[in-house]
Structure 1
Amino acid sequence: MPREPLSTSARWALTSLALSMLMPSLDTSIANAGLPTLAAAFDATFQQVQWIVLAYLLAITTLIVSVGRLGDGFGRRRLLLIGIGIFTAASLCCALAPGLGWLIGARAVQGLGAAIMFALTLALVADAVPKTRAGSAMGLLATMSATGTSLGPSLGGLLMTHVGWQSIFLLNVPLGLLNAGLVYRYLPADRTASMRVAFDYWGTAVLVLTLAAYALAMTLQGLTLILLMVSLCGAGVFVLVETKARAPLIRLSLFADRRLSSSLLLTLLVTSVMMTTLVVGPFYLSRGLGLSGAMVGLVLSVGPLLAALGGVPAGRLVDRFGARRMVPGALFGMVCGCSLLALLPMSLGLPAYVLPMTVIAASYALFQAANNTGLMAGVDQDQRGVASALLGLARNLGLITGAAAMGAVFALATSNPTEAPAAMIASGLHSTFGVATGLMGMALIISRTPIKCRSEPARDSVRPAKTSID
């Protein structure tokens, strides 16, 4: 099918969605590089200033599904404008924070705005561009996500050094005002009928508490087992509440659609492995290969940069060949990259590390474009907000789980990564990416499992058919 050209209005609408993905992605990592500076500014310990990052991530993780469902009922464009407003105002409050407690609280509110932006951006693609350009649009949004995450530490360090820590938050104010104007002017207005959906308050409360318990279990030491039990019980209560709710937050029948449930599971597995590269990489590069701190940062930026640059070309491949063909290919590439790292001889030096990381990053860009396009193309109009939010939730849970679980594998293999000799660090790299190879092999098998559902055209990314979702 030929690709329709984008009108000027569609281009600006897509620009607004790209900004809506870039801004919260940038703030996911922009404060990390400046934690020592913030600790000195507020006379706080490292453990205390870590909550500047954790408050933001926890707010996104716990609220993203709820705001996605709210967007389906309240109006996605309208709620996106509110989210941009919350994010921008909270950023200003962060910059004006008189103390650490104020800053952490403002970051949590900023996380609410970010959750709205993350949840609704993908859901609005179908309203912004023609179906034949959906893959390219998803690729662009994947590029913006990777660009924001990779640019955050370096931009944050530069601004803190030359301008001051407040500048990393003030940066969002003009960007937010510009983005709000673009959304208001160019995104299509919400359908009036979509505003008549009731909201599941009990389900929202239970889900928020359940996800908060799980996220804290992955980030707090000493209470992991207790919090995991709380989250497990909460999941059971949530299922019970949703089966009796008049207007459930998440229709449990969604998960009966193998396409959606497998896409979410693949997202969780892939992002867990991608987090592994950020957990293990710094130790291997510094203690294993003996690189300086500046070189470590430069090498670590290669993966996210390649993922950013590969997003748009990957989206074009999806538009041409279809999402279902591209997902297994992307996962096979990740299996190959992880396998190379699992067998990597340290004697081959830095080039031998960069090569498999390049394969992993390019494959990840293709996976994001294909998986996101395939998932959103098969979801009914009134469920796109919650489906997009579930995709964001799976990504965040994968990042949290990857940091905790794969970090534990690496720590177990090296005894103590901060003091282990180079040979033991290399052994830890091999063990950790051996596990990662197994996870990607499992993901590849899942992606190749036949899905018995409605018949569909070959290019499923551009011709969505009606699903069985009720």
Structure 2
Amino acid sequence: MVSRAGRRYTLLAVALGSSLAPFMVAGLTVAIPTVGEEFATDPVTLSWIPTAFFLAAAMFLIPFGRIADIYGMKRLFLIGLAVYLVSALIAALAPTAAVLIGARFFTGAGAAMIFATSFALLGLVLPDSERGTALGINIAASFAGFALGFLAGGLLTYYSTWRVLFLVPLPVALLAIGIIRQNLPGECALSGGTRPDLPGIVLSTTTILLVMVGLSTLPAMQGAAALAAGFAALAAFITRETRTRDPILDLRLLSHNLPLALANGAVLIYTAASFASIYLFSLYFQYVQGFDARLAGGILLATSLITASLVGYAGRLSDRGSPTGVAMAGIAMTVAGLAVLSFIGPAMPVSVAVLALALLVAGTAFFQPPVYSTVIGAAERAMYGVAAGLVETMRLLGMTVSMAVTIVAFAFFFGSTEIAGENAPRLLESMQVLFRIYFVLAVASLPVTYLAGRAGGSAP
């Protein structure tokens, strides 16, 4: 049994760990135009800098979730923090865009270890009555990381260099490591005695890699070939997991648990609809409106503070009332914001675009805590690591899909042409198309979320 002080310190360390990746993602988002200028890259290559992170995190989340169940969540959480340290140093010293993309992929692998264990650790050390609030606090820390990343990205890029961004998280990671080692005794290995399914790990990671690379390179023939190979790997993975004694993902967890399956589906669809908007707005502010990195980062900071301030409140609402109602209210906010942004153009005042973005991110604050609480609550304790890894995989797959759609749109509108001031009308055209696609996806997430709540007995 973990003491009350130990629970508080665990929450603090997990919150710190959960803030690191968002900090680097947000800071780099603001700095993306400057990075593109330094490395002279086209929009498609530039988009792979954030996409590589989400791709790696999505690939390794489920395997690391199962590995954490077997060998210990505390151990894997600490290894993930160490990977953050090394990959951040590589990114800070990257001489080319290719090295930076590789470093971000490495960071994504470390993030997978953190994401696969953070919610599960909280679920294990905290009582059920505090779970929603704790998850809300942890998600708030993630959004706080985004907010600080936007601030640091703008200021450091304007006054110094984007490379310093990757040095800022190092002491935070060291602090989180120290807190966990000092205040969380023992280990949390709920499925000890079993072995990780190595063939299943290879098939699952290969599936995600091939599908996402295929999506991002459509409509080229190699994209279609990668997709076909990815679906073949998926079929082999399903066959393997239904026959092995110790699968990395027990498919019965989904086939026999409708609330869990639907909630994960809602996370995937909603995240695909909402995530890339922040990336697009960084480009919009700096290429269309002509703002410098400092001002662009300040605006994105303000919208992130809205989310961080609301997400804890949303967690408490989900504890006291209907989690499904809270999540659907968040989706409605996002749908409204995307409806406005679908008509973004030269005539739209920047204030209207910013207000629509604020509505979108506020919706995210209300969507995440209740849906995540539903996922953890629907899983058995021995499968907390896998359940946490699964929902985070859906979130990161959604992010990757969102960025893959963006890459396809940029390839269509820009080709190998660099984004520059004279191409601002082309950027606005691509944003209109993208926001309309995201609007359709956000609307589609509404019935899935409702059905997840109804299956679990919490629909409004």
| Cα distance change, pair 49–367 in 1 and its aligned pair in 2 (3 A) | closer
Q: In structure 2, how many angstroms separate the alpha carbons of the residues matched to 1:227 and 1:459?
A: 39
Q: Which deviates more, 232-241 or 94-103?
A: 94-103
Measured against aligned partners, the alpha-carbon deviations of 1:356-406 in whole angstroms (never above 9, x if no partner) come to: 322221111010111111111111111111111111211122112122325
* Residue 16 of structure 1, aligned match among 13, 17, 23: 13
* Residue 116 of structure 2, aligned match among 119, 127, 142: 119
| 1:447 is the counterpart of 2:449 | yes
Higher relative contact order (CA 8 A, sep 6+): 2
* Distance apart, 1:114 and its partner CA: 1.5
| Correspondence for 2:404 | 404
Q: In structure 2, how many angstroms separate the alpha carbons of the residues matched to 1:426 and 1:107?
A: 28
Q: In structure 2, how many angstroms separate the alpha carbons of the residues matched to 1:37 and 1:291?
A: 13
| 1:46 is the counterpart of 2:48 | no
Q: Which deviates more, 438-447 or 404-413?
A: 404-413
| 1:146 is the counterpart of 2:148 | no
Secondary structure (helix, strand or coil) at the match of 2:366 reads helix
| Cα distance change, pair 121–429 in 1 and its aligned pair in 2 (3 A) | same
* Distance apart, 1:444 and its partner CA: 1.1
Q: In structure 1, how many angstroms separate the alpha carbons of the residues matched to 2:161 and 2:299?
A: 26
Measured against aligned partners, the alpha-carbon deviations of 1:103-125 in whole angstroms (never above 9, x if no partner) come to: 65554433322210111111111
| Correspondence for 1:465 | none
| Correspondence for 1:463 | none
| Correspondence for 1:233 | 232
Where do residues 44-83 of structure 1 align in structure 2 (5 Å cutoff)?
44-46=39-41, 53-83=50-80
Q: Which deviates more, 204-213 or 437-446?
A: 437-446
| Correspondence for 2:438 | 436
Aligned residues of 2:376 and 2:388 also touching (Cα < 8 A): yes
Aligned residues of 1:128 and 1:187 also touching (Cα < 8 A): no
Aligned residues of 2:14 and 2:138 also touching (Cα < 8 A): yes
Q: For structure 1, which runs of at least 5 residues remain unmatched after alignment? A: 1-5, 461-470
| Correspondence for 1:468 | none
Q: In structure 1, how many angstroms separate the alpha carbons of the residues matched to 2:62 and 2:380?
A: 17
Q: In structure 1, how many angstroms separate the alpha carbons of the residues matched to 2:47 and 2:423?
A: 25
| Cα distance change, pair 168–227 in 1 and its aligned pair in 2 (3 A) | same
* Distance apart, 1:266 and its partner CA: 1.2
Measured against aligned partners, the alpha-carbon deviations of 1:142-169 in whole angstroms (never above 9, x if no partner) come to: 2222232343354145345656565333
Q: Which deviates more, 440-449 or 118-127?
A: 440-449
Residue type of the partner of 2:291?
A: S
| Cα distance change, pair 303–117 in 1 and its aligned pair in 2 (3 A) | same
| Cα distance change, pair 350–173 in 1 and its aligned pair in 2 (3 A) | closer
| Cα distance change, pair 420–226 in 1 and its aligned pair in 2 (3 A) | same
Aligned residues of 1:36 and 1:46 also touching (Cα < 8 A): no
Where do residues 258-273 of structure 1 align in structure 2 (5 Å cutoff)?
258-273=258-273
Q: In structure 1, how many angstroms separate the alpha carbons of the residues matched to 2:428 and 2:160?
A: 39
Measured against aligned partners, the alpha-carbon deviations of 1:2-51 in whole angstroms (never above 9, x if no partner) come to: xxxx933322211111011011222234344456766788xx54267876
Secondary structure (helix, strand or coil) at the match of 2:187 reads coil
| Correspondence for 1:464 | none
Aligned residues of 2:74 and 2:188 also touching (Cα < 8 A): no
| 1:208 is the counterpart of 2:210 | no
Measured against aligned partners, the alpha-carbon deviations of 1:325-366 in whole angstroms (never above 9, x if no partner) come to: 322222222223323434679756233323332222111101
* Distance apart, 1:283 and its partner CA: 6.1
| Cα distance change, pair 304–273 in 1 and its aligned pair in 2 (3 A) | farther
Q: In structure 2, how many angstroms separate the alpha carbons of the residues matched to 1:300 and 1:228?
A: 34
Length-normalised TM-score, structure 1: 0.82
* Distance apart, 1:210 and its partner CA: 1.4
Measured against aligned partners, the alpha-carbon deviations of 1:61-118 in whole angstroms (never above 9, x if no partner) come to: 2111110111111111122122222322443455566887766555443332221011
Q: In structure 1, how many angstroms separate the alpha carbons of the residues matched to 2:438 and 2:34?
A: 34
Where do residues 51-200 of structure 1 align in structure 2 (5 Å cutoff)?
53-95=50-92, 105-159=102-156, 167-187=164-184, 189-191=186-188, 194-200=191-197
Secondary structure (helix, strand or coil) at the match of 1:249 reads coil
* Distance apart, 1:278 and its partner CA: 2.9
Count of residue pairs brought into register by the alignment:
449
Residue type of the partner of 1:244?
A: R
| Correspondence for 1:360 | 360
| Cα distance change, pair 404–156 in 1 and its aligned pair in 2 (3 A) | same
| Cα distance change, pair 426–54 in 1 and its aligned pair in 2 (3 A) | closer
Secondary structure (helix, strand or coil) at the match of 2:192 reads helix
Residue type of the partner of 1:182?
A: I
